[in-house]
Amino acid sequence: MDLVAFLLGVLILALAAWDLFETIVVPRPTLGRFRIGRYVVRGSWRIVRAAGRRRGGETRDTLLGLFAPAATLLLLVVWLVALVLGFGLVLFALRSQLNPSPQDLGTTMYYAAGSILTLGSGEIAATGPVARAVVVVSAVSGLGVVALVVTFLFSLYGSYQRREVQVVTLQAAAGAPPSAVTLLETYGRLDLTGRLPDFFAEWERWAAEVLDTHVAYPLLGFFRSSHDNLSWISALGTVLDAASLVLTTTEGLPRGEAELFRRVGSHLVEDITNLGFRSGVTASADAPQVPAPNGVDRIAFDEACARLVEAGYRLAPREVAWAEFEGARAAYAGSLQAMAAYWATPTNSWLEPETSLRSPAHRPIEDADDVVEQA
């Protein structure tokens, strides 16, 4: 019995240490099956997202907005509980080296919790060398976990703030929810089309940073924008649509920066969806892929072209432009919509929120089931 308790305790400690190491220390994604935090975060997100479906307006946004900070604290609690359980089982197996020797597992857990949280207790003392070593390691582990999580939280908020600055500034030109057509209209009517290459270069850097941080620390994807009708997913989709329009539909504009951003942005969408953050599909090589509609029909495209002409742009022949734009958008639109479904955020509005020519892809997505039904 003591050997079973000892081995079980060591196994729990190994799982907790591995999960903590992979979640915080390793700056790259890890999709192993033996990840405590992965199941805690994704499982609790399904519950919160389902609860959000039954509420509307500010209550829903508040509930979903609180999830990411709460999930970070939940991970700390889960790791500490795992340490208490693991060290408690190990010390219970070594209870002959404790004075007085605890007679039940609950007392040993209490002693382990006091050691991990450095509360101190004069009721029980470790007398044997192995038990003393375990107590010292448990105290160091408790302090280490708290320190790592605090550092992790500051890192998350730093990345979140850098991401949101760019998202909020997009609102001035693209509106809220952001629209690619509105964005290009604003630059055209303000005679700022010469600054579009700089705009796409800036968003290329933004996409590269988001790709690096969100793939390394997927919990960042659950942090929602603090502003209404904005999200990093809709902002990404808007700039990708704007780049696709510049590359396929307009003439006379520099295309190099738009093409580079499109490549980095599409890479970001692909990598995030490959991690499993799409339509509730978990990260598995064998997981079925849920298709999503392209989200733009010919009528909407013609309306967009008319607005761009009015804003002063020179356009390519309509039939050629439509075929090329449809193909360009198909490379990322479905995956982007699936990401929005998973995180319960609206996709970009394409034309503008008030337009009557909106396909189902432009409506706020309440849950991943919406994408399945549309598909």
The string of DSSP letters for 114-159 reads HHHTT---SS-EE-SHHHHHHHHHHHHHHHHHHHHHHHHHHHHHHH
Q: What pTM value is reported for the model? A: 0.81
370 confidence band (pLDDT: 50, 70, 90): very low
Average pLDDT (29-37) is 69
pLDDT surpasses 50 at 292: no
Q: Which residues contact 368 (CB under 8 A, 6 or more apart)?
A: 49, 279, 280, 290, 338, 341, 342
Cα separation of 284 and 311, whole Å? 46
pLDDT at 55: 73
pLDDT at 14: 92
pLDDT surpasses 80 at 308: yes
The tokens of 360 are what?
Answer: 């189902």
Cα separation of 280 and 65, whole Å? 18
Of the candidates 103, 139, 137, the one whose C-alpha atom is nearest the C-alpha of residue 121 is 139
Q: At residue 254, what are phi and psi to the nearest 5 degrees?
A: -60, 140
24 confidence band (pLDDT: 50, 70, 90): confident
Identity of residue 242: A
33 confidence band (pLDDT: 50, 70, 90): low
More confident call, 240 vs 352: 240
116-144 pLDDT tens trace: 987 766 678 888 899 999 999 999 999 99
Q: How many Cβ atoms sit within 10 Å of the Cβ of residue 47?
A: 10
- Which parts of 297-346 fold into alpha helices (H)? 298-310, 318-330, 333-342
Mean pLDDT of the chain: 83
pLDDT at 295: 60
The tokens of 201 are what?
Answer: 């270069």
78-102 pLDDT tens trace: 999 999 999 999 999 998 888 888 8
Average pLDDT (28-35) is 65
- Weakest mean pLDDT among 2-6, 190-194, 302-306: 2-6
pLDDT at 206: 96
pLDDT surpasses 70 at 284: no
The tokens of 54 are what?
Answer: 């039954």
Q: Which residues contact 80 (CB under 8 A, 6 or more apart)?
A: 116, 117, 142, 145, 146
- Weakest mean pLDDT among 23-27, 73-77, 106-110: 23-27
42 confidence band (pLDDT: 50, 70, 90): confident
